[in-house]
Amino acid sequence: MKLNVLTAIVGLALLLVIFELLRRRQLREKYAVLWIVVGLGVVPLAVFPRGLDTFAKLIGVASGASLVLFLGVLLLLVICTHLSWETSRLEEETRTLAEEVALIRTQLAELDSRELSNDER
Amino acid sequence: MTSDKRVLIVIPAYNEGESIAKVIAEVHAELPGYDVLVVDDGSTDDTAAVARAAGAKVTVLPYNLGVGGARRLGYLYALRNNYDVAVQLDADGQHDPRNVPLLIDALETSDLVIGARFAGEGEYHARGPRWWAMRLLSFVLSKMAGTRLTDTTSGFRVCSRPLIEGYARWLPVEYLGDTVDTAVWAIRHGYTVRQVPVAMRARMAGTPSANPLKSTVYLLRSMITLLLALVRK
């Protein structure tokens, strides 16, 4: 029973952290929803570890714990891929911004030098 | 035939303070009337100041993007400032500006003209894996373009206005993306690509990599680039 208490506390703590990050607007909603769903799924399992056994047997997995591990690894993989995709997109966005900054600075320098030569006249 | 067109010569430069002034001076001497834009790709040396002093237009990227990033910015500049022709020239001095009018004349019948090093002119050689890679690339791209392209990785290129519009939006930063990928993209989007033989000179600064391990890596990376370019939508 002791282990259940530990896992339940960890699960609840995770949920709290996510909620807090969301409340402070440190986490975009699209990610928060994902993590809250994961948290809400994990906490009951922490309290009732045997809860998935029947379902696991039904799809040919020996125990609920194995199923949770498998799904956990799968989820992490998907999330990693998603984050790589997201950074690629962000890099493309910052690249566009860098280009704009460069062009604006060049234009500004050209305007400045034109103004200078006008003043001299 | 070329006098009525507005031509922009784009030179991407990353820490090329040593050679850039010479290159700009040579372009001004050989091609009077053409505008020169140096794209400083986040250099840590005095590239931008040297280029400005040499009389070029200069645009400075806030951080290093890689040569593809610098090239796209060049095309964006050409697009926004209404140039008809964009010329890609390297800052290390291996591209001879005297060839530029030849390349621009070839634009009459095409959108992208590549200055090719292996087409009989000059003394550029490559051996081993690097040579195999270049052979494979030119074989595949020649088939696609329906014309002989012997030097697909050459950065010495001239683009027409429609292609400037395309490259200002789309030009990858990945390794070899600025050469192989862009050629494949142009062909697949219906632009006419052709080559003009040019002589290449030794670089004024820096050394080309001839190390066998590096050439093998080059071969592998160029194949990956080609494969991705071919399956891209």
Per-residue pLDDT tens digits for B129-150: 888 888 888 899 999 999 999 8
In a domain, B195, yes or no: yes
Q: Are residues A119 and A80 in the same domain?
A: yes
- pLDDT value of position B157: 95
- Residue B17: strand, helix, or coil: coil
What average pLDDT does the structure give for chain A? 86
- pLDDT confidence of residue A25: 82
- The model's pLDDT over B71-106, given as tens digits with 9 standing for 90+, comes to 999 999 999 999 999 999 999 888 999 999 999 999
Domain count along chain A = 2
Give the one of A103, A105, A110 whose C-beta lies nearest to B76's C-beta: A103
- Domain with B59, as residue range(s), is 7-125+147-207
Q: CB-based contact (8 Å) between B74 and chain A?
A: no
Is B37 exposed, middle or buried (CB count within 10 Å of its CB: 0-12, 13-18, 19+)? buried
- Asked whether residue A85 is domain-assigned, the answer is yes
Query: Over the stretch B156-192, which tens digit does the pLDDT of each residue have?
Result: 999 999 999 999 999 988 877 888 889 999 999 999 9
8 Å CB contact of A102 and B80: no
- Predicted TM-score (pTM) of the model is 0.84
A69 and A111 part of one domain: yes
Q: What is the model's pLDDT at position A26?
A: 82
Task: Provide the pLDDT for residue B188.
Answer: 92
Q: Provide the pairing of β-strand B85-88 with B157-160.
A: antiparallel
B122-126: long-range pairs with CB below 8 Å, 24+: B122/B198, B122/B199, B122/B200, B122/B201, B123/B199, B123/B200, B124/B199, B124/B200
pLDDT at position B123, please? 52
Tell me the shortest Cα–Cα distance from B39 to chain A, in angstroms: 9
- The nearest alpha carbon in chain B to A107 belongs to B59
Q: Is B29 within the bounds of a domain?
A: yes
- Average per-residue pLDDT for chain B: 88
| B71 part of contact set with chain A, CB < 8 Å | no
What domain range includes position A41? Answer: 1-47
Does B2 have pLDDT greater than 50?
no
More confident residue, B13 or B174: B13
Nearest chain A CA: its distance from B55 CA (Å): 13
Do A73 and A116 reside in the same domain of the chain?
yes
Pair (A33, A71) in one structural domain:
no
Compute the average pLDDT of residues B19-45. 95
Q: Which residues of A2-24 are buried (b: 16+ CB within 10 A; e: fewer)?
A: eeeeebbeebeebbeebeeebee
